[in-house]
Amino acid sequence: MALKKKSIRFIIIVIFFIVYFLAAARPIPREIILAPEWISTLETANTNIDLQENDSSENEPDKIPVWSDDLLPFVLGSRFGFVDSSGNFAVNRIKTHDIYISRTMWTEYGAEPENITVNNILKGTEINISNAGGYPVLLDDRIFIFGSDQNSLSAINDSGNIEWTYDFGAPLTAIDAAAGLIVTGSLDGVMEVFNSSGERIFIFEPGGSRYSVILGIAISCNGMYIGIICGIDQQRFLLLEKTGNNGDYMVVYHEFLETGFRRPVRVLFTDDDLRVIYERTGGIGCYNIKTRRAVMIPLEGEITAIDESGGDGILFLITSHADKQKKLVGIKFPQDRFYEFPGNGEQNSVYMNASFKSDDVFLRRSGSMLVIGGGTKLISFNLGEK
């Protein structure tokens, strides 16, 4: 009988151990790595086309070759252009004036431009805008002109003509466009949403602060959400969600941001509109639209560049520290924790660190390719796991 009791006790212990092992077991986290792909010095890099050296005949106007690759636009120091995934440059030019560059287009313009030329790198076309009366803004594969006093916004068509113009009651301080919509913020704290025809379909005044001003604004790729940083004393982040087909939005999240900023503030949607990221004192805020949860991720230094795609639950950014020291850091979601070399004691938590000194920095990402720049160099990494 005693032997039978011991056998039963042994079996119970074994079963308990197996159940505990299966319940407590956790997969070993995979470490995210960046493998170097190529490095290029802008001053000596081969350029597939440079419009400054185009020797077309008088009967054949300059034409930009059509590119089908996923080009990354860059502005670094005194140069700008487009580079593909293999490190080949579609454009690599010296910057002679102010420049506005987007994923598909770029333009240089003077202090008070009368005529503006916008180049589309993918279509291989040029759009000439006569008597511009303001400054170019390239958003969502569209061309806009800010009035010289920033009190008006005009949409430009492919022929270089004005499609519509809207006059505002105060200077614009923030703008974004996606899904055929344009969202603006102004010095008087008013947010407005326009459709592709220039019709205002929504207006909103957040209020609640001593000084009403919109310092940052972004609209999600699907047009369903709008993120806003607004006000000084107190500064707030607001997330608005579309409520129906009539273009109305309602506030679904609100957060006070302590001290706040008195400058333009970054707001962006990442991970296919799953998250909205926003600058705040001492780090960044992240609101998960699916879980309806917000976290604050502390950062040292000042953010000088940020990865606007933020795909695969990973976000990269560059921070600036004393003596021009720059650091590339990464954030892995949904752990809601910040990892930076030499780490926080968990070796598998540290997945990226790079430091460099430079007045100017660059950071862009396309899928698994991450390109960073400092000084006159661009370096490409492939994002992977091991």
pLDDT digits (tens, 9 = 90+) for 68-121: 557 899 999 899 999 988 888 889 999 999 999 999 999 999 888 889 999 999
The predicted structure's pLDDT at residue 151: 94
Please check whether residue 122 lies inside any domain of the structure: no
Domain of residue 249, residue span: 185-298
Name the pLDDT band for 236 (thresholds 50, 70, 90): very high
Please check whether residue 363 lies inside any domain of the structure: no
Name the pLDDT band for 26 (thresholds 50, 70, 90): low
Please check whether residue 383 lies inside any domain of the structure: no
More confident residue, 336 or 278: 278
Assign 3-class secondary structure to 265-321. CCEEEECCCCEEEEEECCEEEEEECCCCEEEEEECCCEEEEECCCCHHHEEEEEEEC
Exposed, middle or buried, 224 (CB in 10 Å: 0-12/13-18/19+)? middle
Question: Percentage of residues in the chain with pLDDT exceeding 90?
Answer: 47
Average pLDDT over residues 187-195: 96
The pTM score is 0.83
* CATH code at position 204: 2.130.10.10
The predicted structure's pLDDT at residue 53: 39
Please check whether residue 316 lies inside any domain of the structure: no
Task: Please name which of 27, 42, 96, 150 lies closest in space to residue 373, comparing C-alpha atoms.
Answer: 42
Cα 257 from chain centroid (whole Å) = 20
More confident residue, 55 or 66: 66
Residue 167 tokens, joined: 């006059």
Answer yes or no: is pLDDT of 14 > 60.
Answer: no
Please check whether residue 251 lies inside any domain of the structure: yes
pLDDT digits (tens, 9 = 90+) for 260-289: 888 999 999 999 999 999 999 888 999 999
Average pLDDT over residues 117-126: 91
Tokens 């070399």 -> residue: 341
> Looking at the 3D structure of the chain, how many domains does it have?
1
Name the pLDDT band for 52 (thresholds 50, 70, 90): very low
Please check whether residue 245 lies inside any domain of the structure: yes
Please check whether residue 221 lies inside any domain of the structure: yes
Residue 9 tokens, joined: 């006790």
The predicted structure's pLDDT at residue 182: 98
Please check whether residue 276 lies inside any domain of the structure: yes
